[in-house]
């Protein structure tokens, strides 16, 4: 073993001292030439495996990047939806505040602006739940409106929530008056399944024309007063008909309020009942 080490040291010393065309350099070149085909073959054999490894590595990186981009896209989509909802709520709130501070707001009432937190499970139940109750000042039978017009009235009250029965419910009704001709009648839900209303109990001698605006009558009789204050917009007359055998006209009214897209409402609480 010692002899091999000594021989190796001697050869290395001679190799570094001799010229480039010396015998040891020639032996090195010859060995390299002999081994080169094996080296090239090994590289060619290993290259496909290296390429596959690089392909899998790139694929994993691409999948990871794709998942990251998808999450960013989902986050941006959710942010966009939240911003759109916030903008719509802010716009509706501005309309509500404009109504509360405007000339159309009825005297003798305080206002509670609140959101709708649940809708009926079926299209036949015409009630909504609002995010305000007795703790916020909501009272039974309080009129409920929006900037567009009459919505309905409070039918049940809990501490922090309340139930509003819409004007389109079969149990609801409101005294209405034609803003132009002053013809009076009862506004209630029609026979159809939609949100169409009818102005009922209008006698034949009263004049109502298509396009007339119907508002709440707000009548008073001694100590008794109407459930709804005077002058709340209800809707516009879309058709007028009458039969010789009928005692009253048949009048259809398209409500100003879009009951299917309500998001917030205004509860009117009378200061003195």
Q: Between the CA of residue 258 and those of 1, 32, 143, 177, 262, what are the distances in Å?
A: 102, 90, 17, 21, 7
* Nearest alpha-carbon partner for 265 in 133, 96, 94, 91: 96
Which region holds residue 198: left if phi is over 0, alpha if psi is between -120 and 50, else beta? beta
What pLDDT does 54 receive?
66
Q: What is the CB neighbour count within 10 angstroms for residue 3?
A: 7
* Pairwise CA distance, residues 264 & 261, whole Å: 9
Residue 131's contacts (CB-CB under 8 Å, 6 or more residues apart) are 114, 115, 116, 117, 160, 161
| Domain 109-270: CATH architecture, name and number where available | Beta Barrel (2.40)
Confirm whether pTM is higher than 0.85: no
Closest CA to 183 of 207, 161, 167, 163: 207
- Would you call 97 exposed, middle or buried from its count of C-beta atoms within 10 A (0-12, 13-18, 19+)? middle
Contact 138, 158 (CB under 8 A): no
According to the model, what pLDDT value does residue 11 have? 46
Q: What average pLDDT does this structure show over 195-221?
A: 92
154 falls in which pLDDT band (50, 70, 90)? very high
Q: What number is the average pLDDT over the span 249-258?
A: 94
- Closest listed residue to residue 146, CA positions, set 175, 176, 112: 112
**CA 247 to centroid of chain Cα atoms:** 47
What is the residue-averaged pLDDT of the chain?
79
**For residues 137 and 273, is the Cβ–Cβ distance under 8 A?**
no
Pairing of strands 220-221, 184-189: unpaired
- Phi, psi for residue 245 in degrees, rounded to 5: -85, -10
In tens, the pLDDT along 50-104 reads: 555 666 666 677 777 777 777 777 777 777 766 666 666 667 667 777 787 788 8
In this prediction, residue 174 has a pLDDT band, given cuts at 50, 70 and 90, of: very high
């Amino acid at each position: 073993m010692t002899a091999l080490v000594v021989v190796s040291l001697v050869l290395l010393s001679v190799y570094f001292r001799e010229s480039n065309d010396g015998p040891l350099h020639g032996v090195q070149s010859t060995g390299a030439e002999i081994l080169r085909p094996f080296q090239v073959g090994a590289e060619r054999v290993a290259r496909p495996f290296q390429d596959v490894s690089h392909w899998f590595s790139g694929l994993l990186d691409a999948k990871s990047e794709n998942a990251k981009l998808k999450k960013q896209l989902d986050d941006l989509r959710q942010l966009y939806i939240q911003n759109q909802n916030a903008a719509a709520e802010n716009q509706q709130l501005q309309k509500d505040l404009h109504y509360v501070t405007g000339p159309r707001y009825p005297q003798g009432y305080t206002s509670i602006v609140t959101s709708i937190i649940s809708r009926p499970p079926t299209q036949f139940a015409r009630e909504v739940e609002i995010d305000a109750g007795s703790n916020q000042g909501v009272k039974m039978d309080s009129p409920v409106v929006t900037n567009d017009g009459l919505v309905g009235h409070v039918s049940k009250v809990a501490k922090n929530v309340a139930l509003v029965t819409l004007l389109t419910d079969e149990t609801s009704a409101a005294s209405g008056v034609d803003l132009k001709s002053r013809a009076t009648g009862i506004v209630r839900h029609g026979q159809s399944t939609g949100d169409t209303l009818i102005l009922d109990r209008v006698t034949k001698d009263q004049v109502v024309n298509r396009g007339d605006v119907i508002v709440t009558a707000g009548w008073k009789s001694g100590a008794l007063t109407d459930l709804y204050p005077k002058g709340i917009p209800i809707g516009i007359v879309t058709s007028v008909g009458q039969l010789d055998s009928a005692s009253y006209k048949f009048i259809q009214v398209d409500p100003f309020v879009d009951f299917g897209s309500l998001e917030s409402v205004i509860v009117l609480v009378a200061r003195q009942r």
